[in-house]
Amino acid sequence: MNWKMGKATREAFGQALAALGADYPDIVVVDGDVGNSTRTELFGKKYPERFFNVGIAESNMVGVAGGLASSGKRAWLSSFAAFVMCNAYDQLRMSIAFPNLDVKVVGTHAGISIGEDGPSQMGIEDVSLACSLPNFTVIVPADEVSMTAAVQAVAKIRTPVYLRAGRPNVPIVYPDGCSFEIGKAIPLREGSDVTVIANGLMVAAALQAAETLAGMGVQTRVLDMHTVKPLDDAAVLKAARETGKIVVAEEHLLHGGLGSVVAMSVARQHPVPMRFVGINDTFAESGTPEGLLQKYGLTADAIVQKVRELVGK
Amino acid sequence: MSASTAKANVEQLREKLRTIRKGIITSTTAAGSGHPTSSLSAAEMTTALFFAGFLRFDPKNPSWPQRDRFILSKGHAAPLLYAVMAEAGYFPASELNTLRKLGSPLEGHPNLRRLPGIEASTGSLGQGLSLGVGHALAVKLDRFDSNVFVLLGDGEVGEGQVWEAVMSAAKYKLDNLIAIVDQNGYQQTGATKEVLDLTPLAPKFEAFGWVSQEIEGNSLENCIAALQKAVQAKGSGKPQVIISKTVKGYPISHLLGNDPNHHGKPLTAEQATKVLEFLETTTA
């Protein structure tokens, strides 16, 4: 397939947030001194009076955002997924989720595709943690187009959201725009033999895999399940009924991520054979993003392999 | 917009304090659990804050944007907050005896979604001051002259997040933020000096750019004077802290046996009867 390489989802996030500043004078942004990496600095440069860099202090960053939201602001905060979710989890739980405040939490540099910086910087458990926070909506966009749409969509709701962004540039899977709706999977390719449900950068890999599988005579449905919570149960049920087999692919630990959530939905609604592509209970290491995705099995080939296990080809 | 800013004279305040102390005892004894001694130590300060004209609030319009904020960071002192809110008219005092019962908005620790007027859901210690920083920034952005008061425990300041919040308040020159540390000297397993001694506290706040006062806090007059000084510091560009040295369980600790901490234990019905008689007449 001919991918047009696009921006990183973190870059698209930063640009979309800065663009929202004019429409929403009550948006405030809190940074934990990584604004040039998470790209919230784009907002900060435009609206310095509404941008608060509280330093390397994630717990306080989350609490400050909670206080701003309690006083009526639309608060956004951003850090590396690993730092905000793991360092400040109790604050997310007590100061945002429990009081159900309007705070948008954006975890960037998620997954292993950040590459050379290595495991300490890689958020590979963040989606699971976010899904374990009641009141939170959890969204993992695939490319710059859907990230922009996601930022605009979540800005409209007044409840907590976790939005996951990546470091590297990723292919554009929505060259013609994206009709993004929170909680609604986007069908990207029709197929009747098997469904691949993916999010984040695994959506492009799923489309690539579907192309390869078509050459083998396997017609693969591809769903972009950008919203992990609330899950689009209807799309999962439809896929289970109509294709009878499901592979889930994500750049995240297998425990507690999209695969777990989809499996629960399948088990409850319409059990069918499933396979899972994700990080298998391990930390990764330093390396190039491509090398890491290859080594840890987050590729189109890995998806093809799992599909072949299911369809017996 | 009207706010309850009427200043009660000290005699009226003393009567309110009496009612609040009794509310703490009766509600926790009725609940069979809770933290009466942690609540009592800060009763004078909270009474002064709410009823001596420092806190501008409106029970009929709890989310009035220009209100002052009070955040109970030491959330286990919820019985104090509820007794004060009942006295302030947020709900009938008869509801105090539903404390901690299924269906009651008076949960074991404050839950802002259940009870209008509660500014923050607390109970996991160390988080209230960060929320206070957020509120203080928000009201400054809105050009309101609202003040934000945060009541912390002295054991609670062992949480690193408190000091993250302290540093950020100084950075943003939040002279509308007033922290009160209820220094009752005890935490769950023993004396704060033995568990993790952070004294002297005032110089630590000062070192981070705050202005501090140290007072004997089981005195309405002392609390009023300290609050007065703190709110008058508006314009200084510096956040304010009052280190309020108190006695845990004041003024009934002598009736609780040989346990100066008596942490997280309600009084028995028998103890409560004696204590309520004492509270009825004490001038402390």
- Answer with the one of A115, A147, A171 that is the final residue of a domain: A171
Q: How many folded domains does chain A comprise?
A: 2
A44 half-sphere exposure, CB direction, 13 A CA radius: 20
Q: How many beta-carbon contacts under 8 Å exist across A and B?
A: 112
For residues A17 and A70, membership in a common domain is answered with: yes
- CA B177-B6-B54 angle, 5° bins: 15
The answer to the question of residue A179 being in a domain is: no
- SS3 assignment, position A1: coil
Where are chain B's structural domains? Answer: 10-281
What lies within 8 Å, CB to CB, of B144 at 6+ separation is B65, B66
Q: Which residues of B touch A135 (CB under 8 A)?
A: none
Interface probe for A, chosen from B67, B71, B119, B121 (most Cβ of A below 10 Å), is: B121
Q: State residue A32's pLDDT score.
A: 97
The answer to the question of residue A112 being in a domain is: yes
| Residue numbers of the domain that contains A48 | 5-171
Query: Among A249-258, B145-154, B188-197, B258-267, where is mean pLDDT lowest?
Result: B258-267
B81-105 pLDDT per residue, tens: 999 999 999 999 999 999 999 999 9
| Prediction ipTM score | 0.96
Q: State residue A3's pLDDT score.
A: 81
Burial class from Cβ neighbours inside 10 Å (0-12, 13-18, 19+) for residue A24 reads middle
The answer to the question of residue A180 being in a domain is: no
Q: Over 80: is that where the pLDDT of A24 sits?
A: yes
For residues A144 and A56, membership in a common domain is answered with: yes
- Answer with the one of A144, A171, A198 that is the final residue of a domain: A171
SS3 percent helix, strand, coil of chain B, rounded to 5, is 45, 10, 45
For residues A239 and A130, membership in a common domain is answered with: no
A24 touches chain B (CB under 8 A): no
Q: Over 80: is that where the pLDDT of B244 sits?
A: yes
User: Beta-carbon neighbour count of residue B204 at 10 Å?
Assistant: 17
The answer to the question of residue A181 being in a domain is: no
**Residue B177 Cα, gap to closest chain A Cα (Å):** 12
Catalytically annotated residue among A11, A41, A58, A125: A58
Q: Which residues of B touch A49 (CB under 8 A)?
A: 141
Structure tokens at B235: 């314009």
Determine the residue of chain B that is closest to A55 in CA distance.
B168
A180-203 pLDDT per residue, tens: 999 999 999 999 999 999 999 999
For residues A153 and A268, membership in a common domain is answered with: no
The answer to the question of residue A178 being in a domain is: no
**Residue A281 Cα, gap to closest chain B Cα (Å):** 30
User: Beta-carbon neighbour count of residue B208 at 10 Å?
Assistant: 17
The answer to the question of residue A91 being in a domain is: yes
Asked if residues B141 and A49 have their Cβ atoms less than 8 Å apart, the reply is yes
For residues A20 and A59, membership in a common domain is answered with: yes
Contact B168 A49 (CB under 8 A): no
- Answer with the one of A142, A171, A200 that is the final residue of a domain: A171
Contact B121 A55 (CB under 8 A): no
Residue B2: which pLDDT band, with cuts at 50, 70 and 90? very low
Average pLDDT, chain A: 97
Q: Is A144 a catalytic residue?
A: no
Determine the residue of chain A that is closest to B114 in CA distance.
A99
A256 touches chain B (CB under 8 A): no
For residues A26 and A133, membership in a common domain is answered with: yes
Contact A69 B134 (CB under 8 A): yes
User: Beta-carbon neighbour count of residue A280 at 10 Å?
Assistant: 11
DSSP annotation string for chain B: -----PPPPHHHHHHHHHHHHHHHHHHHHHHT-S-HHHHHTTHHHHHHHHHSS-S---TTSTT-TTS-EEEESSGGGHHHHHHHHHHHTSS-GGGGGGTT-TT-S--SS--TTTSTT------STT-HHHHHHHHHHHHHHTT----EEEEEETTGGGSHHHHHHHHHHHHTT-TTEEEEEEE-SEETTEEHHHH----SHHHHHHHTT-EEEEEE-S-HHHHHHHHHHHHHTTTSS--EEEEEE--TTTTSGGGSTT-S--TT-PPPHHHHHHHHHHHHH---
The answer to the question of residue A211 being in a domain is: yes
Do β-strands A227-229 and A137-139 pair in parallel, antiparallel, or remain unpaired?
Answer: antiparallel
The domain that holds A114 is classified in CATH as 3.40.50.970
Which CATH code for domain B10-281? 3.40.50.970
For residues A165 and A34, membership in a common domain is answered with: yes
For residues A167 and A190, membership in a common domain is answered with: no
| Residue predicted with more confidence, A50 or B260 | A50
For residues A88 and A190, membership in a common domain is answered with: no
Percent of chain A with pLDDT over 90: 99
A50-106 pLDDT per residue, tens: 999 999 999 999 999 999 999 999 999 999 999 999 999 999 999 999 999 999 999
For residues A147 and A98, membership in a common domain is answered with: yes
